[in-house]
Each structure stands twice: as C-alpha cells, then as structure tokens.
Amino acid sequence: MNKTKRLATLSIMLFSIASLSACVATNPTSNSSAYSTAASTQTGSAKHQLKVIDSNIVTFSKIKVEQEGSGHEVEGIVRLKTTQRKILRLPGYITVTLKAADGTEIERVKAKYHRKFGASKIGHFDAKLSKETPNGSQIIVEHHQ
C-alpha cells in the first residue's frame, strides 16, 4: 500500500512538472529589465499622456492623475516583485516627471511611498506636481534603483 501511494505521488509530480514546462515553452517571457505602458487622459482643458515605467524590482498599478488647483496629484499602488518576505524598505525611489510636448522636462518630483502594513510587499505612492500641464504633455511615473 505504501509503495502504491509513493508511485501515485511521483506520477502526479512528474505530470505537474511536464505540464508546467510545456506552459513555459509556449509562453516565453521578455528579457527586458523594464517595460512601460502609456495611457492618454483628459484632465480639465489640458490633455496629457501618462507613461508608466516598471523596473525589474517593482510594478505599478491603479495609477490616478487628478487635477488639484493649478497642478496635479499622481497616486497609485506599488508591488515588489521579489519572493523575499518581510522587506523593510522599498529599494530605490519613485519619481514623477512632467515633460512638455517637445520632450523638455518641466518638473520632476520624488514621490512619497507608504507601506500598506508592516513589512508588506504592497504599498502606495503619491506625488504633487505644482506646475500646470500644457496640451500634449507627458507625465512619467518611474522607479529608479
């Protein structure tokens, strides 16, 4: 009986490994250290583009840009990609940059990072841009190591 259980467990493990390796072979991953997503948003009368650049350490999600007075407030969620548990500090820092349509940098702000709880891998960031966004401008959220 014990021998039969071991054989059944071993066959299930081998089947799982084979199906996992087949899945990896059909879905290759990208070797780039960062990727970016872009979205166009309309805020008041000024139209700007939001560009998010993840690093190989963190990913961003649920990023909001809201007009606040003459400037904008940018906030979102940050998740660490590591499998390590109980990380006490976010490695590196997050910047929010406002660029004009021609690519010149208007303003760069270092975002504040708040951990969700204790030593969590999920946190929240926010930054306030004081300058007004001209038409065709770009807001870039980026993690630096």
CATH number at residue 125: 2.60.40
In this structure, is residue 124 part of a structural domain? yes
pLDDT, the chain, mean: 75
* Amino acid present at 55: S
Residue 61 confidence (pLDDT) above 60:
yes
Residue 108 confidence (pLDDT) above 60:
yes
Would you say the pTM of this structure is higher than 0.85? no
List the domain range (segments joined by +) for residue 76.
36-144
In this structure, is residue 10 part of a structural domain? no
Q: Which residue has the higher pLDDT, 119 or 62?
A: 62
In this structure, is residue 84 part of a structural domain? yes
Q: Which helix (H) or strand (E) holds 60?
A: strand 58-68
Residue 13 confidence (pLDDT) above 70:
no
In this structure, is residue 136 part of a structural domain? yes
Q: Which residue has the higher pLDDT, 128 or 13?
A: 128
Pairs from 105-110 (Cβ < 8 Å, separation ≥ 24): 106/131, 106/137, 107/131
Residues 131, 137: Cα–Cα separation, whole Å? 12
Residue 105 confidence (pLDDT) above 50:
yes
Residue 141 confidence (pLDDT) above 60:
yes
Q: Which residue has the higher pLDDT, 107 or 90?
A: 107
Residue 72 confidence (pLDDT) above 60:
yes
Q: Name the domain count of the chain.
A: 1
Q: Provide the pLDDT for residue 34.
A: 47
Residues near 91 by Cβ (< 8 Å), separated by ≥ 6?
57, 145
In this structure, is residue 27 part of a structural domain? no
pLDDT digits (tens, 9 = 90+) for 20-50: 555 444 444 433 344 455 554 444 445 788 8
Is residue 49 within 8 A of residue 39, CB to CB? The reply is yes
